Amino acid sequence: MTNQLVIFDTTMRDGEQSPGASMTKDEKVRIGKALEKMRVDIIEAGFAAASPGDFAAIQAVADAVRESTICSLARAVDRDIEHAAEALKRAERARIHTFIATSPIHMQYKLRMQPDQVIEQAVYAINKARNLIADVEFSCEDAGRSDNDFLCRIIEAAINAGASTINIPDTVGYAIPEEFGYKIKTLLERIPNADKAIFSVHCHNDLGLAVANSLAAVANGARQVECTINGLGERAGNAALEEIVMATRTRHDLFDIRTNIDSTQIVPTSRLVSNITGFAVQPNKAIVGANAFAHESGIHQDGVLKHRETYEIMKAEDVGWNANKMVMGKHSGRAAFRSRLDELGVSFETDAALNEAFARFKELADKKHEIFDEDLQALVSETNAAKVADIYKLVSLDCRSATGETPIANVVVSASGHEHKSQAEGSGPVDAALKAIESIAQSGANLQLYSVNAITQGTDSQGEVTVRLEKGGRIVNGNGSDTDIVIASAKAYIHALNLLMSNAERQHPQNDGV
């Protein structure tokens, strides 16, 4: 058995299935490039049949990323497989990931199919996919609750049909590590042609065991792990990529395997995903949380100063934690700006896009003397946010708040090119500003989340605001950043309104498609 562990990232597919985490095409390209830089082996860029937007995003990622394999999910039906193959046409390396449910409860109630029909459908889908693209992965949805005898039958047939990766998902996060490890061991021992495929796992975190279950599977012979940055994903999320990579690396004494991952890219990629989705990383999150390497207690600090390994099992710099670096200031030129963004993995398609971002940089540098990498990343997000269906634009905002007085905001917003003015009071200046904007847009959307985060240290930091809006079951995240948090909030609200106006309907991959 090989000692190479394949890292399959599904941040842009399963991660995107988190309510509110949907990503635009440009955002997916940026995340795709960051994952490529991290040397992720396989990037699941979306579910091509879900919507024209997802289809175009997979195409764009396939065009932009040439080193990693690009993958699209597809239910075991003609339409999904055809869409996946078409979206992946220009990829340097492509994979179709097709799946069907195999647990008794899913087959009976969701698919309404007999087990033999499910095997037949899986084999049909794999054959079809293999005729379009050589690299085919097959997943037994809800394998965690599927019968091992049935899994042996369907997997043997899937490998014979040409699937070279077999994925065993714990779709509902029900498994316990010992049991899940045993499942992998049993399948590898009992399936006669198991040596012709790589066995993969895909664990959900409903019981907080996604990483533990994945590691138990690796210990028992799985050689691909499906995971997401920051553990993003349906419900409680998926196994976190950073934890899988660092656990296998740090405990190399137990796991005799290696990955291709450049771990120094973990923190920048985590920040990028958090910034794009608006899902903040909790401070005590392993590896990528702000406190993951902070020692507060005197005894610990003393120990680390005397000998780092007394309390540290990993080096912060190995996962990409750098002290904030002052990278640029108001005298920095366009060439320096472009080269720093290049180093951060951001490039511009046109000179006009570069000029626009540079103009924003100059504006910011006038307000804030030291510009850090985090500021540059926020600035690029904002330049991209401005590209989303420009229905609403913030023209001006004037807010007053004083002790003992009711805050009041006057805003001018242009809607499809026509300027509208509005005034509103609120419990604070942010509340007043958002009420004034809403009175112009009349979106009727429900505010589900409002969060502010200081991008860097110091009181001159930019505030990065996320606004999550829901309307008719659709959820979007708007982002805005500015050294003035009321303006950042207004920008985030307007970005969310524009997203609500723009996105096409998406299908959920776990919907009954057979």
Of the ranges 28-36, 166-174, 308-316, 328-336, which one interacts with ligand KIV (CB under 6 A)?
166-174
Q: Which is nearer to Zn ion, 14 or 135 (CB)?
A: 14
Binders in 96-115 for ligand KIV, by CB under 6 A: 99
Q: Which is nearer to Zn ion, 14 or 27 (CB)?
A: 14
Q: Would you tell me how many other CB atoms lie within 10 Å of the CB of residue 149?
A: 10
CA–CA separation, 97 and 139 (whole Å): 7
Token look-up 């996060």 returns 173
Q: Would you tell me how many other CB atoms lie within 10 Å of the CB of residue 262?
A: 13
Q: Which of 205, 187, 183, 212 is nearest to 197 (CA)?
A: 187
The answer to whether residues 167 and 224 touch, using CB atoms and an 8 Å cutoff, is yes
Residue 141 binds: one of ligand KIV, Zn ion, none (C-beta under 5 to 8 A by kind): ligand KIV
Looking at residue 5, the DSSP 8-state letter turns out to be P
Q: Which is nearer to ligand KIV, 168 or 413 (CB)?
A: 168
Of the ranges 13-21, 308-316, 373-381, 393-401, which one interacts with Zn ion (CB under 5 A)?
13-21
Does 14 bind ligand KIV (CB under 6 A)? Our answer is yes
Among 33, 95, 202, 368, binds ligand KIV (CB under 6 A): 202
Among 278, 426, 478, 509, binds ligand KIV (CB under 6 A): 509
Does 173 bind ligand KIV (CB under 6 A)? Our answer is no
Does 169 bind ligand KIV (CB under 6 A)? Our answer is yes
In angstroms, the Cα distances linking 198 to 3, 23, 100 are 12, 30, 18
For the chain, the C-alpha Rg in angstroms (whole number) is 24
Task: Copy the structure tokens of residue 450.
Answer: 């409002």
CB of 47 to ligand KIV, least distance (A): 9
Binders in 40-69 for ligand KIV, by CB under 6 A: none
CA–CA separation, 429 and 438 (whole Å): 14
CA–CA separation, 41 and 316 (whole Å): 24
Run of H or E residues at 481: strand 474-482
Among 171, 456, 466, 479, binds ligand KIV (CB under 6 A): 171
CB of 281 to ligand KIV, least distance (A): 22
Binders in 465-494 for Zn ion, by CB under 5 A: none
Among 14, 36, 375, 382, binds Zn ion (CB under 5 A): 14
**Burial category of 83 from C-beta neighbours within 10 Å (exposed 0-12, middle 13-18, buried 19 and up):** buried
CB of 406 to ligand KIV, least distance (A): 49
The answer to whether residues 264 and 320 touch, using CB atoms and an 8 Å cutoff, is yes
Of the ranges 10-18, 51-59, 119-127, 257-265, which one interacts with Zn ion (CB under 5 A)?
10-18
Residue 173 binds: one of ligand KIV, Zn ion, none (C-beta under 5 to 8 A by kind): none
- The DSSP string of 149-187 is HHHHHHHHHHHHHT-SEEEEEETTS---HHHHHHHHHHH
CB of 202 to Zn ion, least distance (A): 6
One-letter amino acid identity for 79?
Answer: R
Binding mask 308-337 for ligand KIV (x = CB under 6 A): ------------------------------
Give the footprint of ligand KIV on this chain (CB under 6 A).
Answer: 14, 73, 99, 139, 141, 167, 169, 171, 202, 204, 509
Give the footprint of Zn ion on this chain (CB under 5 A).
Answer: 14
